[in-house]
Structure 1
C-alpha cells in the first residue's frame, strides 16, 4: 500500500470501510488489515489515529450509534402526524436496513469491544439502546397527544419494539422481513388504541 496518499477524513474513511466489510462479510471478517485495505490506506494509518483495534471499533460503534439517531429522530418531528404505527414501522425498517444489525453482531462477537464500550456506554448495545430511547421518547410525545393510552409504559414499549424487530432482522444472510411484517409486529406491541 502506498503511504504517501493524502487522506481527507481518515476516521470517516476507516469507518465507511468497516461498514462495507460488516455488511458484506460479517464481524468475523472485520480486521485492521481488512479495514485499511478497504479504505485504501496503509495499516499504520489506523494505528496513528487509534491506540489499538478495539479502540477503533468502540469509536466506530459509538459514531454509528450517533448517526443512527438521525435515522430515527425524524420520529420526534412526526409526532401527531400520520399514524403511530406507520411512523414506528418506518423508523424500525430504516434502522434495521442499515448497518445496525451488523454492529450488534460485532459487539456480540468481540469481547474486547464490549469491554471498551462499557467504559462509555454502561448498558446494552449502543445502537439498540439508543434506538429504544428515541422510540420511547416519540411514544411519550404521542401519549401526551392522546394517540396512545395514558397508561402505556413508553420505555418498555420502546425496548420491546427494538428487541422484537431486531430478532426479525438478525439473520443478515436470510430473507429480510417485509414492511408489512414489521407493521404487524408494531400493531401487536403498541396498544390497540393507538391511532
Structure 2
C-alpha cells in the first residue's frame, strides 16, 4: 500500500476481512497474515492498531457481541405482537447469521480466546451464544408477564434450549441453508405446552 494513503476505519476493515476468511475457510485458517492479505494491507497495520493477534481476535468477538445486542430492543418491542413462535423464529434467524455461526466456531476452536472474552465481559458460557440466550430469556419473561406463556414457563431453561437447538441446525457450514419452516417447527416444539392460545 502506498505511504500517505489513509485507511478508513482500519479496525472495521480488518474485522470484515477476518469474517471473510472465517466464512471461506473456517477458524483454522484465521491468521494475522490471512487477515491482512484479505484486507489488502501490510501486516504491520494490524499491529499498529492491536497489541497482538490475540487482542485483535478478542476485539473482533466483543464487537460482534455488541452488534448482536442491538437486536435486543427490536425483539423486546415485538412482545405481544404476532405469535411468540413467529417472533422467536425471526430472532433466531437474526442471531444465527453465517458470520455469527463462524464466530461461535472460532470461540469454540480457541480456548484462550473464549477465556479472554469471558473475562472482558464478566460472563461465563460460550460468548455470543450466552448473550443471545440472555436476550431470548428477557423476551420470554416479558411474554410470560403479558400472559402469552403459562405462569410456570421456565424461561431460564427455554432460552438456552432454543439457542442450543438453533445452533445445531445452523452449525454445519457445508450444509444447505436452514429453512424457516424447519426453524419454526423447532421453536414450536420447544414451546409446546407453555404457549397460551
- Report TM bin, short chain: over 0.9
8 A Cα contact 1:57 1:113, kept in partner: yes
Q: Give the Cα–Cα distance (whole angstroms) in 2 for the partners of residues 193 and 111 of structure 1.
A: 36
State the partner residue of 2:161.
Answer: 160
Q: Give the Cα–Cα distance (whole angstroms) in 2 for the partners of residues 4 and 38 of structure 1.
A: 21
Q: Structure 1 stretch 68-77 or stretch 123-132: which is displaced more?
A: 68-77
User: Secondary structure at the residue paired with 2:82?
Assistant: coil
User: Secondary structure at the residue paired with 1:163?
Assistant: helix
Matched, 1:171 2:194: no
Matched, 1:123 2:124: yes
What's the TM-score, normalizing by structure 2? 0.93
User: Secondary structure at the residue paired with 1:115?
Assistant: helix
Shift of residue 113, structure 1, vs aligned partner:
1.2
Shift of residue 29, structure 1, vs aligned partner:
1.4
8 A Cα contact 1:92 1:165, kept in partner: yes
Shift of residue 72, structure 1, vs aligned partner:
4.7
Q: Give the Cα–Cα distance (whole angstroms) in 2 for the partners of residues 150 and 74 of structure 1.
A: 24
Query: Which 4+ runs in 1 deviate beyond 6 A?
Result: none
Shift of residue 3, structure 1, vs aligned partner:
4.6
Shift of residue 144, structure 1, vs aligned partner:
0.8
Shift of residue 160, structure 1, vs aligned partner:
0.6
Matched, 1:80 2:44: no
8 A Cα contact 1:3 1:41, kept in partner: no
Shift of residue 19, structure 1, vs aligned partner:
1.3
RMSD (Å), alpha carbons:
1.5
1:109-130 deviation digits (Å, cap 9, x = unpaired): 1233123223213312221000
Aligned length: 195
**Runs of 5+ consecutive residues of structure 1 not aligned to the other structure:** none
Residues 89/50 of structure 1: CA separation in 2 closer, same or farther (3 Å cut): same
Q: Give the Cα–Cα distance (whole angstroms) in 2 for the partners of residues 191 and 174 of structure 1.
A: 27
8 A Cα contact 1:14 1:39, kept in partner: yes
State the partner residue of 1:136.
Answer: 137
